[in-house]
Amino acid sequence: MWGDRLISVTEPATAEVMAEIPRAGIEETDAAVAAAKAAFPAWRAVSPADRAALMRRLADALEREAEALATLEARNAGKPIADARGEIAMVIECFRYYAGAPERLLGHTIPVAGGVDMTFREPLGVVGLITPWNFPLVIASWKVAPALAAGNTVVLKPAELTPLSSLELERIALEAGLPEGVLNVVAGPGSVCGQRLVDHPDVAKVAFTGSTEVGRGIASGAAQTIKRVTLELGGKSANVIFADADLDAAAAAAPSAVFGNAGQDCCARSRILVERSGLDQFMAALVGAVDAIRVGDPLDEQTQMGPLISASHRDTVASYLNDDAPVAIRGDKPDGPGFWFEPTVLSPVDNSDRAATEEIFGPVACVIPFDGEDEAVQIANDTIYGLSGSIWTRDGAKALRVTRALDSGVISINSNSSVRVTTPFGGFKQSGVGRELGPDALDHYTDVKNVYYATGGN
Ligand code: TAP
C-alpha cells in the first residue's frame, strides 16, 4: 500500500537514516479524523474518574518506557540524553497533572431572576495537533494531555523530521487502555497532513507549535471553518542584564538559556541585553562559560549540546555569520559527520541587525549593550515577537517595573526558566495566541455552555 511513500528518519549526530516509516497523506489523515470522530461520543461519556484513571495509567506506562523514549528522542532530535530524560519526565508529569482535570472541570452558577443559571465546559470534538521537531514528545504532551482530559479526541501530526516518539506515544496509549480512535498519530508532511487538519470540516480546533510563518497560514486557513486555534510560534527573547545584577551568575546562566537544545528553542534568550557599565565584567565571565560547553554525541552523558536538526538548517544558521559578523566568542564542535555548529556569541550587535531581528533557531547569541532602564525596555520590546525573557538585577522594584513593561508572555527574574507543567505558557504579539500548560490550557480545549433552568419565572 505504501510503495515508495516512506519517510527516512535521519539521526542528526551521524547524518544516517535511523528508521523508515510509512508516510501518511490525505487519505490517512481523513481516516484518522474519521476514527477520532467515531470515538468522540464514547470518550466524552467516560466518567470523569475513569478518564482520570486512564490518563494516570498512560502516565505509568510512559514511565515504564521512559529510558527507551529518552534514547529515541535523543537520537532522532539530536539532543543530549540528560535533556531528553528531563523532557520525558515532563511528558509523564504532564499526563499526571491533567489527569486531575476531568474531575475539576468546574462551571459556575450565576444568580439570575426566575431560575437557576449554570455553565458547563464542554469538549470541542476532534482536535488536530501539529507539533515541531525541536521538542517532539514534550510539546505533543502539552497538547494531548489537556485535550484528552477535557473529553476531546485527537489527531496528532508530528514533524516529519521527528515522528518516532509520537508514534510510540500512540502505541503506549493503546496498550495502556485508551480506547481505539481516541489518540491517532499521522506522520506525514505538514503541507499535506497538517493542512488537511486545518481544512477538515470535522476538526473543531487546531493547536499548533511551529514557525510564525506557518502559523499565519494556519490562522487564515482555520478561519474558513471558524476553528478554534492555539498558536505557539517563534521568539527572539531578551535576557536583560542590569549592571547591579550578580553578573557572574547571569553570565554562568546565559549560555544554557540560548545554546540549550542547540539554540533550537522558541524560548531561547538569543538577545542578551547588557547594561553598558557592566559589559566588560559580563563578557569576561561569559567567555569561560561558553568555552566550557561540551558539544558532542547526544548519547554521551557529559554532552551539553548536540547537533542541529538537519544539514539545510545548519546552512540557514550559518547564513547569519557572514565575514562582517562581530564574532566575540566561538566554542567548539566535533569533526566528522553530523550537523554540528559551534556555540557562537556576536558582540556588540545593534538591535536592528538581521541577527538580532530574525529568529536564528541555532546556537548564535547577540550581545546588545544598553544604557538605563528605559532603553532596556525599548530594545527588548522592539521585535515582532513576545514569547519569553529574563531580567537580572538586585533591585526588586526595578525588576517588577521592567517585567510589567515587557511585551512577553513568560518572564523570569534572576533565572532563565520558562516552562513548568503547572504554569501557563504562550506568547504576546506574533509569538502566538492562547496558552498551554497550567490551568489555562483547559480553557482552550473546551467551550462554555450556559444553561438557564426556569424554576417559576421565565
Ligand atoms: P514549522 O515549519 O512551522 O513546522 C511545524 C509543524 O507544522 C510541523 O509539524 C510541520 O510539518 C507542520 N507544517 C508545516 N507546514 C504546514 C502547513 N502548511 N499546514 C499545517 N502544518 C504545517 O516549524 P519547525 O521548523 O518544525 O519548528 C521551528 C519553528 O517552530 C521555530 O520558528 C520555533 O520558534 C517554532 N517553535 C515554537 C515553539 C513555541 S512553544 N512557541 C516551540 C517550538 C518551536 P512538517 O515539518 O512535517 O512538514
* Residue ranges of E strands in 61-165: 109-112, 115-123, 126-130, 153-157
Position 458 scores a pLDDT of 65
Collapsing DSSP states into helix, strand and coil, what is residue 5?
coil
195 lines ligand 1 (CB under 6 A): yes
HSE of 165 in the Cβ direction (CA atoms, 13 Å)?
33
Q: 141, 166 in Cβ contact below 8 A? A: no
Ligand 1 mean position to 131 CA, how many Å? 6
Look at the block and give the residue holding cell 530594545: 379
| Nearest protein CA to atom 30 of ligand 1, as residue | 210
- From 130, 142, 212, 317, mutation site for ligand 1 pocket: most ligand atoms within 8 A of C-beta: 130
Inter-CA distances, 22 with 1, 7, 31, 159, 180, Å:
9, 6, 15, 14, 20
Q: Give catalytic status of residue 67 as yes or no.
A: no
206 lines ligand 1 (CB under 6 A): no
Q: What is the Rg, in whole angstroms, of the alpha carbon atoms belonging to the chain?
A: 23
28 lines ligand 1 (CB under 6 A): no
Grid coordinates given for 366: 547577540
Position 7 scores a pLDDT of 97
What is the rounded CA–CA span in Å between residue 290 and residue 269? 14
Ligand 1 mean position to 332 CA, how many Å? 28
Q: Of 214, 238, 11, 66, which Cα lies nearest the Cα of 132?
A: 214
Q: 66, 290 in Cβ contact below 8 A? A: no
Position 456 scores a pLDDT of 86
pLDDT tens for the chain, residues 1 to 458: 444 599 999 999 999 999 999 999 999 999 999 999 999 999 999 999 999 999 999 999 999 999 999 999 999 999 999 999 999 999 999 999 999 999 999 999 999 999 999 999 999 999 999 999 999 999 999 999 999 999 999 999 999 999 999 999 999 999 999 999 999 999 999 999 999 999 999 999 999 999 999 999 999 999 999 999 999 999 999 999 999 999 999 999 999 999 999 999 999 999 999 999 999 999 999 999 999 999 999 999 999 999 999 999 999 999 999 889 999 999 999 998 999 999 999 999 999 999 999 999 999 999 999 999 999 999 999 999 999 999 999 999 999 999 999 999 999 999 999 899 999 999 999 999 999 999 999 999 999 999 999 998 66
DSSP one-letter code for 194 = I
Q: 308, 264 in Cβ contact below 8 A? A: yes
166 lines ligand 1 (CB under 6 A): no
Inter-CA distances, 235 with 384, 408, 427, Å:
8, 10, 8
Collapsing DSSP states into helix, strand and coil, what is residue 203?
strand
- The β-bridge partners of 22 are 6
129 lines ligand 1 (CB under 6 A): no
Task: Evaluate the omega torsion of the peptide bond into residue 12 and state whether it is cis, within 30 degrees of 0.
Answer: no
| Nearest protein CA to atom 46 of ligand 1, as residue | 159
Q: What angle do CA 431, 344, 308 make, to 5 degrees?
A: 65
Position 457 scores a pLDDT of 66
Measured in residues, the chain has a length of 458
Q: Give catalytic status of residue 266 as yes or no.
A: yes
361 lines ligand 1 (CB under 6 A): yes
132 lines ligand 1 (CB under 6 A): yes
| Nearest protein CA to atom 34 of ligand 1, as residue | 234
Q: 25, 157 in Cβ contact below 8 A? A: no
- From 214, 387, 431, 436, mutation site for ligand 1 pocket: most ligand atoms within 8 A of C-beta: 214
- From 8, 166, 206, 266, mutation site for ligand 1 pocket: most ligand atoms within 8 A of C-beta: 266
| Nearest protein CA to atom 18 of ligand 1, as residue | 191
Ligand 1 mean position to 211 CA, how many Å? 5
What is the rounded CA–CA span in Å between residue 247 and residue 394? 10
- For the chain, the first-to-last Cα distance in angstroms comes to 60
Q: 206, 127 in Cβ contact below 8 A? A: yes
For residues 92, 193, 181, 441, the Cα torsion angle rounded to the nearest 10 degrees is 40
CB atoms within 10 A of CB 347: 19
Q: Of 14, 73, 138, 83, which Cα lies nearest the Cα of 261?
A: 83
Q: Which of 266, 342, 366, 436 is catalytic?
A: 266
Q: Of 23, 131, 135, which Cα lies nearest the Cα of 78?
A: 135
DSSP one-letter code for 245 = S
232 lines ligand 1 (CB under 6 A): yes
| Nearest protein CA to atom 26 of ligand 1, as residue | 132
CB atoms within 10 A of CB 238: 31
What is the rounded CA–CA span in Å between residue 188 and residue 182? 19
- The β-bridge partners of 411 are 389
Q: 78, 12 in Cβ contact below 8 A? A: yes
Q: 116, 452 in Cβ contact below 8 A? A: yes
Ligand 1 mean position to 296 CA, how many Å? 25
Ligand 1 mean position to 55 CA, how many Å? 27
